[in-house]
């Protein structure tokens, strides 16, 4: 009898332990995106958080079986309700889980800004004025790009992701056709976006102006980043959760060949928001930056 009791107790402990670790996964996904990003090396912050959750669950399940079972049923009910009402449900939990696992497997490279001072060339107003995103020619070009690229990926996506996918379609259209042409000798020529869109040619500031204008024309948020002797556009992605979702899309659906085995590079601003590189030197959104020494950013 004692042996049977011990075996039963052992089986109960095993079941409780397995149940605790199984429950830890969805709970970790829910908690993970609501915590500050510690960015410890080798994802040790995520591993530590998971094990803390799993151990706490193990202790709670052992001590309060009825409460834990009730909480599990309530969570499942909440997810069912979210699924039925189009809010956060099983599908969103699954997508968050896949994105998180993808983020663990594929590191993204955050670059730090090193501000080096003010530029000698004061062309900011001229550049902002050249970003004529309300011009019908620029708008038509941007809309055409969204009709040519990633149409299937746009369908069914949440609105904020649909806009970003459409911005990637604009990136693809411009960068696959851009021809670098220098300014006139000893002169800085700033072409309007409505001018460059007809030729898809010019230097780095012309490319940045057109990219920013086309992105703004379809609801995206760009900025221009000045480095020593170069300027390039960046696109506002949002949070680290958004970066993980879109990084997975870039690698697996949108730019699989261009980004194969490569890292998504990004900057994080003072508010913690994430911006990725859209330079003509990058073969995919988030390609390696041409330079890290940043002089200033322009927000058109």
Give percent of the chain above pLDDT 90: 36
150 shares a domain with 211: yes
Report whether pLDDT(230) > 70.
Answer: yes
Q: Tell me: the pLDDT tens digits for 9-45?
A: 666 666 666 666 667 777 777 777 666 666 677 677 7
Same domain, 153 and 279: yes
34 and 155 co-located in one domain: no
- Strand, helix or coil at 87? coil
pLDDT at 117 over 60: no
The whole-number pLDDT of residue 118 equals: 47
Q: Which of 105, 129, 155 is the last residue of a domain?
A: 105
**C-alpha pair distances (Å), 160 with each of 213, 219, 246, 277:** 18, 9, 11, 18
Q: How many domains does the chain have?
A: 2
273 in the same domain as 256: yes
Distance CA 237, CA 160 (A): 9
pLDDT value of position 10:
61
**Are 71 and 189 in a shared domain?**
no
Same domain, 79 and 13: yes
CA-CA-CA-CA dihedral for 3, 8, 11, 15, to nearest 10: -160
Distance from C-alpha of 114 to C-alpha of 218, rounded to nearest angstrom: 31
3-state secondary structure of 266: strand
**Of 65, 90, 105, which residue constitutes the final position of a domain?**
105
pLDDT score at 16: 61
Regarding whether 124 and 72 lie in a shared domain, the answer is: no
pTM (2 d.p.): 0.68
Residues 142 and 254 in one domain: yes
Give me 197's structure tokens: 């869109």
**CA-wise closest residue to 208 among 293, 126, 114:** 126
Element (H, E) at 222: strand 222-227
pLDDT per residue over 162-175, tens digit each?
Answer: 999 999 999 999 99
In terms of DSSP bridges, do strands 264-268 and 230-238 run parallel, antiparallel, or are they unpaired?
unpaired
- Angle ∠(142,99,240) on CA atoms, nearest 5: 70
Domain that holds residue 20: 2-105
Structure confidence by residue, pLDDT tens digits, 201-223: 999 999 999 999 999 999 999 99
pLDDT greater than 70 at residue 5: no
pLDDT the model gives residue 120: 43
Residues 40 and 176 reside in one and the same domain: no
Residue with tokens 């669950």: 57
């Amino acid at each position: 009898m004692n042996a049977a009791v011990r075996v039963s107790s052992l089986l109960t402990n095993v079941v409780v332990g397995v149940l605790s670790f199984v429950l830890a996964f969805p709970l970790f996904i829910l908690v993970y995106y609501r915590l500050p990003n510690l960015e410890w090396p080798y994802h040790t912050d995520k591993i530590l958080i998971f094990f803390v959750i799993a151990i706490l669950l193990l202790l709670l399940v052992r001590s309060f079986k009825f409460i834990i079972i009730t909480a599990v049923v309530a969570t499942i009910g909440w997810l069912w309700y979210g699924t039925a009402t189009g809010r956060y449900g099983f599908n969103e939990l699954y997508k968050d889980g896949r994105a998180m696992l993808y983020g663990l497997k594929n590191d993204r490279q955050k670059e730090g800004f090193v501000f080096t001072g003010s530029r000698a060339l004061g062309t900011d107003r001229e550049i902002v004025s050249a970003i004529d995103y309300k011009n019908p020619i620029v708008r038509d070009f941007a809309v055409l790009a969204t009709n040519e690229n990633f149409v299937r990926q746009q369908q069914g996506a949440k609105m904020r992701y649909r806009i970003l996918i459409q911005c990637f379609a604009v990136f693809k259209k411009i960068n696959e056709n851009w021809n670098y042409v220098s300014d006139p000798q000893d002169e800085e020529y700033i072409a309007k976006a409505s001018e460059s869109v007809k030729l898809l040619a010019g230097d780095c500031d012309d490319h940045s102006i057109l990219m920013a204008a086309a992105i703004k024309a379809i609801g995206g948020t760009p900025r221009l980043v000045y480095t020593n002797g170069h300027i390039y556009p960046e696109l506002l992605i949002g949070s680290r959760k958004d970066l993980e979702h879109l990084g997975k899309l870039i690698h697996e659906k949108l730019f699989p060949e261009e980004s194969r085995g490569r890292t998504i590079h990004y900057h994080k601003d003072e508010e913690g928001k994430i911006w990725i590189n859209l330079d003509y030197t990058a073969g995919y959104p988030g390609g390696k930056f041409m330079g890290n020494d940043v002089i200033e950013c322009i927000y058109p």
